[in-house]
Amino acid sequence: MDTKIMFDLGSPLGDGGESGGMSGLHYHDYLQLDKILNAQDPESAKHDISAHDEMLFIIIHQAYELWFKQLHHEAGSILEIMRKPALNDNSPELQIVVHRINRMAVILRVLIHQIDILETMTPMDFLDFRDMLRPASGFQSWQFKLLEAKLGLKFENRHGKEYYTSQLRQEHIDIIKKAESEQSLFQLVNAWLERMPFFDKTEKWNNFSLVPKEDDTHPFWREYKSRYANSLAEAEKNNLESFDEVFFQQHRESQYTLSAKANRAALFIMLYRGYPLLQLPFQLLNNLLEIDEQLSTWRHRHMNMVHRMIGTRIGTGGSSGRDYLKSAADKHYIYKEIAQLTSFLIERRRLPQLPKEIEKELGFVASL
């Protein structure tokens, strides 16, 4: 379909005619195409050197930065909603959050597919202009580092943290440091999960557990732990220690970001996602995992592309090239704690039957 037609079909500019109330606005001006189409200034042309693929290289990376800007636009709106002291899990706001997180995941898929285009450039094509780029490097993309910080990548969990802002301009470092000092999406999700109300209504769980009461553990979790233990193979019995560590903070290590209460809520959502009230919360968690997966795929594709293009040579910005990218790809999982909760799932047929009042609140039963 022609680009102009695509624009008109979904734009506020109508059919492009002169009779509409916005007839003075032109497609070319609205998109500021003079700025965009004149923003490519190949270094090779300045040196009167033939390097056909430098134009592709520039446009691909400009497109990346534009998509990063859109990702920040989505992330900013999500953070604003999630910062509210109370977020109704059955509200339009949660639907907006889920929708926009999903959009971010889709955009990240597009970023991965752009590598397919970039890989039409051969190593020799790249060498035509590579040395002219020094010391410029993708490592200087402050927008990507800012996005990682907003999503929840903590400074102490970064690979090469002493190096990661070393090539940035001070104004960009200040923006990233400010984001790191504010609540990230991960922290806001933790607070949202901790607000799950169902386990606080203890009177609705009376006589629920078949397991004898030995401590103050909630009856659901006493029962669930028993069923989980019975589902483990002999070689998996050590998982019970991890269960107590993750969900009850027994001998808990400091590396955890999600609280035990948030972990319990997240696992409950995964287990009972078939209930209407838990559908959106499940989609939110699942979309966060999708973002992590797409970021990981993007990093590994980038790493493999770099290895294909320059082998073991150092990057134009002075990094170790492929080795640096591999270490970052292996370490920079933001939502791995949520992903690891799948270790504690059991089969649907083994799930404890919830009390009728809890089922009613989850929207599964119309009346008692």
Annotated binding residue 59 = yes
What is the CB-side half-sphere exposure of residue 186 using CA atoms within 13 A? 25
Angle between helices 54-82 and 142-151 in degrees, nearest 10: 30
- The span from the CA of 150 to the CA of 39, in Å, is 28
Annotated binding residue 60 = yes
What is the CB-side half-sphere exposure of residue 27 using CA atoms within 13 A? 14
- Tokens encoding 368: 């008692």
Annotated binding residue 58 = yes
Annotated binding residue 302 = yes
- The span from the CA of 261 to the CA of 193, in Å, is 8
Sequence letter at residue 152: G
Annotated binding residue 47 = no
Residue 341 CA to its chain's centroid (Å): 17
Per the CB < 8 A criterion, the answer to whether 245 and 251 are in contact is yes
- The span from the CA of 38 to the CA of 69, in Å, is 19
Per the CB < 8 A criterion, the answer to whether 176 and 354 are in contact is no
Beta strands in the chain (DSSP E): none
Nearest to 257, CA basis, from 154, 332, 355: 154
Annotated binding residue 26 = no
Burial (Cβ within 10 Å: 0-12, 13-18, ≥19) of residue 6? exposed
Annotated binding residue 72 = no
- Tokens encoding 225: 């732990």
Annotated binding residue 316 = yes
Nearest to 132, CA basis, from 66, 39, 57: 57
Please give the DSSP secondary-structure letter assigned to residue 334: S
Sequence letter at residue 129: F
Let me know how long the chain is.
Answer: 368
Binding-site residues sit at 57-61, 130, 302, 316
Binding-site residues for heme sit at 302
Binding-site residues for substrate sit at 57-61, 130, 316
